[in-house]
Structure 1
Amino acid sequence: MKNIGIFKLILFMALFAVACAEDELVNLVEPSHRAIVTSEMDFDNTINVGGHIDFGDISRGVESRTWTFPETVSRISGTDENTSPKDVVKGFFYEPGQHNVTLHQVFKGDVYPNEDSTVPNNSREIDTTIVVTVLGAVEASIKAHYINDDGSTGAELTLSDNAENEITASKAVRLSYTTTGEPISFVWNLPGAKPIQIMDAAPEVDVKYSKLGSWDLQFITSRSRPGGADTINVKNSLK
């Protein structure tokens, strides 16, 4: 009887150890969650021509992955190929426009598409497309026109240094600009005019000159991120 009691004790301890081991195995099973980040994700993945973005796959439960970058317009740092299996890659982009970077992932189990997902997809594979916007340099061109008595646009002024286009006192001049590179700030600096400065200027504005003298003209357009600007200065443009 004593031996039977000892056997039962040993059997109980063995079953308990097996149960604990199974619990540990269950706890070690890693759920598959997709999580992808980029260095410019807070700025709509927008960069200048020639700039780069770092792409990171921090997903859990990944078995394999393939990054694919658009050919001819981009390059993956450290390789001549346009694909990479690495978890972190740096991509350079050389042409303005919108370009797609794709990530194909194979997971160890059915994947939760996002960190806050409560139900996994019925699949171990998932594809993600990241759109990269590449902006060209900020460039501007400006024009100035006389204004006819009826308010219509008159003859164009010559905007070059020392042109000294003659303006009748209290008469208005119509200024206009065009830009490329998606700037967001537009400023005219107009000594001798009213107003002397125009912030957030519309594409076309009318200004009056009432003081005698030769006056410079300046136009500045810019964007903050990705940074870019263009400044046009014309010396002694108006008289």
Structure 2
Amino acid sequence: MKLLKNICVGAMAFAAALTSCQKDDVVPHGDFQDVAIFSSYQGQITVEVNNQIAIADGSKGYSSRKWSIPAPNYFINNNDSVLDEETAYVKFMEVGDVPLKIEWQFPDSTGIRDHDSLFIVNVLDTITTKIAVTKVEGNYSVKDGKYVIEAGSIVTMTDTSSGSPDTFEWLLEGEDESLVTKTVEVQYKKLGKFDVGLVSSRAEPFGRPDSLVMVDFIEVIPSTLPVLMTEANETNLPGVVQLQFSREMNVVDETQIPAFSVKVNGTDDAVIKSIQLNPADASIIELHLEQDLLNSQTATVSYDASVGTVESSDFVKLDTFTDENVNIFLVNLLTVNTSFEDGTIAPFGDPYNIKGNTYLSNTSSDAQEGSNSLMVKMDAGTNSQIGQNEGFFKIEKGKTYALEFWVKVVSNPAGNNFEMTWRMQPAAGWSDGYKQWLGRCCTDALKPENEGTWQKITILTDKQAPEDWEEAKLHFQPGCGDAGEVEMLFDNFKFYEYEVPPVN
């Protein structure tokens, strides 16, 4: 017997020569004998319960044939669990791995030879949407199956539906947009009761969508914990810094300005013109500065509780914080799959190997942020080239640009001297006029003692663009020595115009 877990088939026909049970003493110059199964499925056969498939026997030279399947599954042809017809129309009535068997008898020089094959069909249940809370970061209790949490708590919820859905849409009261991942993390900042809804479906094989709405599933009450500033970001509006807090804040006005300070490059105090709550999100306080922040600068923000009276909507006073980093706004010219979350190696193409071999793949085993990263493996003694083949962008003559990415060295055997050159090139050509060597192991930030750790690399280009390029691309040329295989992970690429203050 030959057990087939997968049927590797073409769009409408695939012939599988199943000869493992045949004897070698076939009749010389006799009738042609062969075993072939035809199906429209690619790979493993997977269906939903109460649905059917068609599978055909294209074998030649047999004297008898019998399909069989365990009840309550049956062949629609004859409403039975046994069939001798060429094409079997099978309806599946139970969930799980269901064996579908076909048996033949072939005449040969010794009499009758038996042959059989077994296919395992994965039968999925219909989709019934279910939701589970897997984690709550904060103080909470559960009452009558509903969650009572303190403001600022983070709730992690996941789909636990039957029927193996692969498509999800979360409908969360208080959120402007639906979320389309299997698992969601939601920080609840506003007091009140909130519904949680989920629509689950399956694209392949098609599964009818099911939905579940849990009314008032999350109740948010005043917190016993301090209110925290979780991050500070400059927006795309010049000089506007948003302070994100762990829960909603009460109204602030100009009397609170003296309690806040913003330092640029560690020393210069920026002038705060005005302060307000974000009109769309009361967990954000906005500071409006007199001057724009530039991405060549650093900035920090502080708050002095002895001067200010800022408080959350549940009347918890904001504590003093000092020199918290502000993320300065920049425009990333790279727009396609910069963190590799789509599961491909885009925007890069396959490597061109000058010597040895470099292999690119998308991996979900590790990432600096999110779930995926770009894995680069190199044979010993390799020199290769890796270039963008999509997501091209414009650069302008005379401007200065910066390259930023995260890298983790998984393996770089001692003395192997991984090194890399990068170029900026026109999308449809070659240029060495905008090239830079990054040094061994991507600058000194990646010394041997840092192997196995994600490192952020920011490189200010030492040349300016030689001319305007409407479509430009990144091009890398990595190389390594003969000591062994190199393996590295890359994530979160950025390429942006480097802003500098005007010369007085």
Coarse TM-score class (shorter-chain normalised): 0.5 to 0.7
Deviations 1:44-64 (A, max 9, x none): 221111111212111122222
SS at structure 1 position matched to 2:42: helix
**1:22-72 per-position Cα deviation (integer Å, ceiling 9, x unaligned):** xxxxxx964211101234x325221111111212111122222111121x2
- Is residue 68–residue 101 contact of structure 2 (8 Å, CA) maintained in 1? yes
Are the structure 2 counterparts of residues 96 and 181 from structure 1 closer, same or farther at C-alpha, using a change threshold of 3 Å? Answer: same
Structure 1 residues 101 and 176, CA gap change in structure 2 (3 angstroms): closer
Distance 1:133 1:238 in 2: 37
Q: Deviations over 1:118-151 (max 9, x none)?
A: xxxxx843111111111111123224575435xx
Say which is worse superposed, 211-220 or 94-103, in terms of deviation.
211-220
Higher helix share: 1
**Correspondence 1:188 to 2:193:** no
Report if aligned partners of 1:139, 1:179 keep a CA contact under 8 Å in 2.
yes
Query: Take 1:158 and 1:143, find their aligned partners in 2: how far apart are those partners?
Result: 14
8 Å contact from structure 2 (residues 138, 152) kept in 1: no
- Report what 1:63 is aligned to: 63
Structure 1 position 156 matched with structure 2 position 142: yes
1:157-179 per-residue CA deviation (whole Å, 9 max, x = no partner) reads: 6567xxxx765543333434422
Query: Is 1:208 aligned to 2:209, yes or no?
Result: no
> Contact 1:140 / 1:177 at 8 angstroms: preserved in 2?
yes
Name the counterpart of 2:117.
128
The number of residue pairs the alignment matches comes to 187
Q: What stretches of structure 2 of length at least 5 have no aligned partner?
A: 1-28, 220-504
Q: Which residue of 2 aligns with 1:38?
A: 39
- In the other structure, the counterpart of 1:76 is 75
Tell me what 2:198 maps to.
219
Cα distance, 1:170–1:130 mapped onto 2, change above 3 Å = same
- Asked which structure has the greater RCO (Cα within 8 Å, sep 6+), the reply is 1
Taking structure 1 as reference, are residues 95 and 44 closer, same or farther at Cα in structure 2, changes over 3 Å only?
same
Structure 1: 4+ residue segments shifted above 6 A: none
- How do residues 87-166 of structure 1 correspond to structure 2 at under 5 angstroms? 87-109=86-108, 124-144=113-133, 147-149=137-139, 154-156=140-142
| Distance in structure 2 (CA, Å) of the matches to 1:155 and 1:104 | 60
Partner residue in 2 for 1:115: none
RMSD after superposition? 3.1
* Structure-2 change in CA distance of 1:43 and 1:224 (3 Å): farther
Provide the C-alpha distance between the structure 1 equivalents of 2:131 and 2:95, rounded to a whole number of angstroms.
23
Question: Unaligned 5+ residue runs, structure 1?
Answer: 1-27, 111-122
The CA deviation at 1:96 is: 0.4
Q: Is the 8 A contact 1:174 1:207 kept in 2?
A: yes
Map of 1:175 onto structure 2:
157
User: CA contact under 8 A between 1:61 and 1:109: conserved in structure 2?
Assistant: no
TM-score, reference length from structure 2: 0.33
